[in-house]
A and B are shown apart, each in its own frame.
Chain A
Amino acid sequence: MTQQTSAQDILDRHFLQVRCGILDIAATLDRINRGEDAPLLEQDQRLDAFRRALEILNDGGTDRAERIQILFSDPYVSGWNQ
Chain B
Amino acid sequence: MYFFDPHVHMISRVTDDYERMARMGCVAVSEPAFWAGFDRGSADGFHDYFRQLTEFEPQRAAWSGIQHYSWMCINAKEAENVSLSREVIKMIPEFLDRPGVLGIGEIGLNKNTKNECTVFREHLELAAQTDELILIHTPHLVDKYKGTRMIIDMLLEDSRIQPHRVLIDHVEEHTVGLAREHGFWCAMTLYPTTKCTPARAADILEIYGQDRIMVNSAGDWGPSNPVAVPDFIQEMRHRGNAESAIKQIVYDNPLEFFSQSRNFRFTPPDTVPDQEPVPVV
Contact = CB atoms under 8 A, between A and B. Distances in A.
Interface string A45-68: 000000000000000000101100
A4 interface: yes
Interface SS, B side: helix
B240 A1 contact: no
Interface string B192-209: 000000001001011001
Given A1-B205, A4-B239, A66-B174, A77 B146 contact: yes
Contacts of B206: 1-3
Interface in B161-196: 172-174
Given A1-B205, A5-B240, A73 B174 contact: yes
Contacts of B117: 81
Interface string A2-34: 111100000001000000000000000000000
Given A1-B205, A69-B173, A76 B146 contact: yes
Interface in B92-116: 112
B145 A1 contact: no
Interface stretch (B62-70, B76-84, B147-155, B260-268): B147-155
B278 interface: no
Interface SS, A side: loop
Contacts, number: 55
Interface in B120-165: 141-146, 149-150, 153-154, 157
A65 B173 contact: yes
A69 B239 CA distance: 24
Contacts of A75: 145-146
B241 interface: yes
Contact of A69 (B150, B174, B203, B240): B174
13 contacts: A1-B241, A3-B239, A63-B173, A65-B173, A69-B144, A69-B145, A69-B174, A73-B146, A74-B112, A75-B146, A77-B146, A80-B150, A81-B157
Given A2-B206, A5-B239, A77-B146, 18 more contacts: A1-B210, A1-B241, A3-B206, A3-B239, A5-B240, A65-B173, A70-B174, A72-B142, A73-B142, A73-B145, A73-B174, A74-B112, A74-B142, A75-B145, A76-B150, A80-B150, A80-B153, A81-B157
Interface of A: 1-5, 13, 63, 65-66, 69-70, 72-77, 80-81
Interface of B: 112, 117, 141-146, 149-150, 153-154, 157, 172-174, 200, 203, 205-206, 209-210, 238-241, 245
